[in-house]
Structure 1
């Protein structure tokens, strides 16, 4: 049986748009809340550096699944989906962590990369 996901108008993620300033070695948390009509939720975090497409970092879901890309190890990059929130925690900051970070709900990431990029434009944390 094939699953079909439809992104309805009430399905969205909300991120503060402000710039976050932190020092090398510090830890920080980037907030992301979401609204969805689905009982099962799949949330993703992406990192976008200048002139590069967003890189997949991690996925969390309501089943308790934790999946991190090999480049973003859980000891430094972690998130916990709780209620309608999935904050990204980054520990032991490196200068190379400076980027725009995007939170996405599953219907946002089922399309092609152009659609993903367009949908994520206004949902950013910059550090």
Structure 2
């Protein structure tokens, strides 16, 4: 699966914010999308994983504030009630076991 991922956004304390991560290919039932947060002088921390059938959040990143919905070709990350401590670099990553042309 060839993908071009785009990410963009800005920060406003106290408000909700969406970061977009999209693929040139449609996400399929075997796709898992991950979001990570990396603060200065630290390693990337797992925020959440989304797939067609499940959703997992790290205990540090509660679903009330950090959420994402898997769509056809994107998985926007929503952060509610932004805080200064949310300032960081955010990464998205796609894992797909099969692409649309694969068969068993």
Q: More helix by proportion, 1 or 2? A: 1
Query: 1:45 is matched with which residue: 35, 41, 60?
Result: 35
How many residue pairs were aligned? Answer: 95
RMSD over aligned CA atoms reads: 1.9
1:102 has 2:91 as partner:
yes
Match of 2:73 in 1: 84
Task: Label 1:76 to 1:44 Cα distance change in 2 as closer, same or farther (>3 A).
Answer: same
Match of 2:6 in 1: 15
Q: Which runs of 4+ in 1 moved over 4 A?
A: 36-39
Unpaired runs of 5+ in structure 1? Answer: 1-7, 108-127
Post-superposition CA distance 1:21-50 (Å, at most 9, x none): 322101110001123686410000000001
TM-score with structure 2 setting the length? 0.81
Distance 2:78 2:59 in 1: 16
Unpaired runs of 5+ in structure 2? Answer: 97-104
